[in-house]
A and B are shown apart, each in its own frame.
Chain A
Amino acid sequence: MINIYEVTETNQMIEQENLDVRTITLGISLMDCIDSDLEKLNDKIYKKITTLAKDLVKTGQDIEQEYGIPIVNKRISITPISLIGAAACKTSEDFVTIAKTLDAAAKEVGVNFIGGYSALVSKGMTPAEEALIRSIPEALAVTERVCSSVNVGSTKTGINMDAVKLCGEIVKATAEATADRDSLGCAKLVIFCNAPDDNPFMAGAFLGVTEADAVINVGVSGPGVVKHAIEQVRGQGFEQLCETIKKTAFKITRVGQLVAGEASKRLGIPFGIIDLSLAPTPAVGDSIAEILEEIGLERVGAPGTTAALAMLNDQVKKGGVMASSYVGGLSGAFIPVSEDQGMIDAVNAGSLTLEKLEAMTCVCSVGLDMIAIPGKTKASTISGIIADEMAIGMVNQKTTAVRLIPVIGKDVGEIAEFGGLLGYAPIMPVNEFDCSDFVNRKGRIPAPIHSFKN
C-alpha cells in the first residue's frame, strides 16, 4: 500500500516544484471536411471541431480536480490546412477565412491554442501550399489562438530551399503584421525539419495524415522536479546523476500516462502518445537552464553546456520510455529562451549566444525556440538561420525547428514582451554577414547519403 512519504513526495512535486501536465492535445482529422465550396468547408470544419472537442476543457478540469494535478493547457491540433483547403482556396485570402473559422472554433470550446494552420513542403510546394504559406502573416495577425507551422525539410527528402527562402520572408512579414504587439505573430509560427505527426506542443502541433480521426496526445513537464531531485546528488558521479534523472523522468511520465489514459477513456477518443518533454515556463524554478546549472555550469552557455544537455535529454527519454506505452511527438528537453528565466538570465549575462543555442539544438528536442532578434534583420539572414537549423535536423535524423521573432522597431539590448506562458525575451544579436546569394539559389538540398536505407 502507498505510504505517507510517497504521498508527500508527489504532493511536494506538484505544490513546490511545478509538476504539471503541460497539455492535453486533442488531435482532430479534418480530412472528411474537404469541400470545393469555401463556405461549406468552413462550416464543416467549425462543426467538426466544436462537436468533437466540446467536452475537452471540462474533462481536463475534472481530471485536474480528481487527481490534484494541474493540467495547464487543453489544446487542439488538426490536419494541415494546406491539404484541407486545397480544393476550395484559390487565394491566400481564402485561406485566411479558414484561420478565422479555426479561431472561432477554439474560442467556442475554450482551448487556448489550435495548431495546424500548416503546410508540409519538405520536397515541393503545390500552389495551395504556397498560397497558405503566403497567407500566414495575415492569418496570425487577425486571429488570436491559431498556430502555424511549415515543414521545409526532412532526412528522407532533403531541404526545400525555395520554401526556406519564402519562410524567411514570411517570418519577417508576420513580424511586421504584428509590430504593434512586439511581433507576437512570430511566436505562433514554427519552421520545421522532420516535423512529427503527433506533436502535442504548440506552436508546432498538427495532426498528420497518418493519424486516426481523433486522438489524445499528452505532453508532460517538470523541469523543477528534475532540478530538485538532482540537488540531492550534488557533487556525486555521473552514474548517480543519470540514475536520478531517469527515475524522476519515470515518475513524471507516469502521471502523464495516467492523465492521458483517463482523458482518452472519458472522451471516448483513442490515446495516441505521450511526449516525454521537459518544458519550462517563465516561473522561477521551472527552468531547463537551472537544471544545467545544477549539473555544474556557472551559467548555461558555458563550455560543457552541450554535453550536459545531451546527457539530460537522453536520461529523460530513458526514464520516460518505460513509463509510457506509446511515446512520440518531440520528446526531450525544450530550450526556448523567452519561456525560461534561466535562459533569459544567461543571455543577459552574456553567456548564451545564438550560435551556442544552435549547437545545443543538435542534442535536444526541437530547436531555436522563442528567440527575439533585431527587427532590422534581413529576410535572407532569417532564411540562412532556418537553413542551418534544418540541416542539423536533416543530417541528425531528428526534429529541428525555428521560432524566431524579429521584433520590429527594437534592437539588441531591448526587451520583447509576449505575456503569459510565452514570457519575455532580451533581443539577441545576429551575425550580420550576408548569405543572400546562398538563399537565392533555386531548388533543394538533396537528402543525405545515410537516408538511403532501403
Chain B
Amino acid sequence: MKKCIITVVGKDTVGIIAKVCTYLAENQINILDISQTIVQGYFNMMMITDIGQATKELGEVSKELETIGEEIGVTIRCQRAEIFEKMHRL
C-alpha cells in the first residue's frame, strides 16, 4: 500500500468528483476514503487513495491531476500521505 492524499479545492461545479474518480479508475488508483465540505461556496474535498497498483509514477499522476483541475477550474493536489501523518501524528 502506498497512500496518497488527493485534495480538490475550488468553486463548486457539476461533475468534479466524477472527473477525478474516472481518472483514478483509469489509472488503477484505489479510493480508500472520501470526505468533502463546502466552505463559503468553495468545494473542499480530500481523498485518501492507494497508488500501490497504479500504472503511472506519482509525479506523472500529480501533474495530470493538476491539468484536470485547471480544465474544470479547481486546484487538485496529490501528495504522499506521510507529510500529513508526520506533521499531525506523534
Contact = CB atoms under 8 A, between A and B. Distances in A.
A4 B86 contact: no
A68 B79 contact: yes
Contacts of B5: 2, 7
Interface in A157-174: none
A384 B45 CA distance: 59
Interface of A: 1-4, 6-11, 62, 65-69, 251, 254-255, 257-258
A11 B75 CA distance: 12
Given A1-B33, A3-B35, A66 B48 contact: no
Contacts of B37: 4
Nearest to A250: B87
A66 B33 CA distance: 20
B26 interface: no
Name the residue in B5, B36, B58, B87 with the highest tally of chain A Cβ atoms < 10 Å from its Cβ. Answer: B87
Contacts of A258: 82-83, 86
A66 B61 CA distance: 10
16 contacts: A2-B81, A2-B84, A4-B37, A4-B45, A7-B46, A8-B7, A8-B46, A62-B59, A65-B62, A66-B58, A66-B59, A67-B83, A68-B62, A69-B83, A255-B87, A258-B86
Contacts of B81: 2
B32 to A, nearest CB: 9
A15 to B, nearest CB: 9
Contact of A68 (B33, B45, B77, B85): B77
B44 interface: yes
B11 interface: no
Contacts of A255: 83, 86-87
Nearest to A322: B90
Contacts of B86: 254-255, 257-258
A10 B82 contact: no
Name the residue in A3, A9, A66, A254 with the highest tally of chain B Cβ atoms < 10 Å from its Cβ. Answer: A66
Contacts of A66: 58-59, 62, 79-80
B58 A2 contact: no
Contacts of B45: 4
Contacts of A1: 33, 48
Given A2-B48, A7-B5, A67 B80 contact: yes
Q: By DSSP majority rule, is chain A's interface helix, strand, loop, or mixed?
A: helix
Given A4-B37, A66-B59, A66-B62, A10 B48 contact: no
Contacts of B44: 4, 8
Contact of B35 (A4, A69, A251): A4
A132 B84 CA distance: 46
Interface in B36-90: 36-37, 44-46, 48, 58-59, 62, 77-89
Contacts of A2: 5, 48, 81, 84-85, 88-89
The 4 A-B pairs of least Cβ separation, nearest first, read: A68-B79, A6-B88, A4-B46, A254-B86
Contacts of B85: 2
A4 B82 CA distance: 14
A10 B86 CA distance: 11
A121 B35 CA distance: 60
B33 A10 contact: no
Name the residue in B44, B46, B77 with the highest tally of chain A Cβ atoms < 10 Å from its Cβ. Answer: B46
Contacts of B48: 1-2
A254 B90 CA distance: 10
B19 to A, nearest CB: 19
Contacts of A68: 62, 77-79, 83
A252 B65 CA distance: 27
A59 to B, nearest CB: 12
Given A1-B48, A4-B46, A66-B59, A10 B83 contact: yes
Nearest to B4: A66
Given A1-B33, A1-B48, A258-B82, A251 B59 contact: no
A7 B48 CA distance: 11
A16 to B, nearest CB: 12
B84 A10 contact: yes
Contacts of A3: 35, 46
Given A4-B46, A67-B83, A254-B87, 14 more contacts: A2-B48, A2-B88, A3-B46, A4-B37, A6-B84, A7-B46, A8-B44, A10-B88, A65-B58, A67-B79, A67-B80, A68-B79, A255-B83, A258-B82
Contacts of A7: 5, 7, 46, 84
B2 to A, nearest CB: 10
A285 to B, nearest CB: 20
Contacts of B33: 1
B50 to A, nearest CB: 13
Nearest to A6: B88
Nearest to B46: A4
Contacts of A10: 83-84, 87-88
Contact of A67 (B7, B46, B82, B88): B82
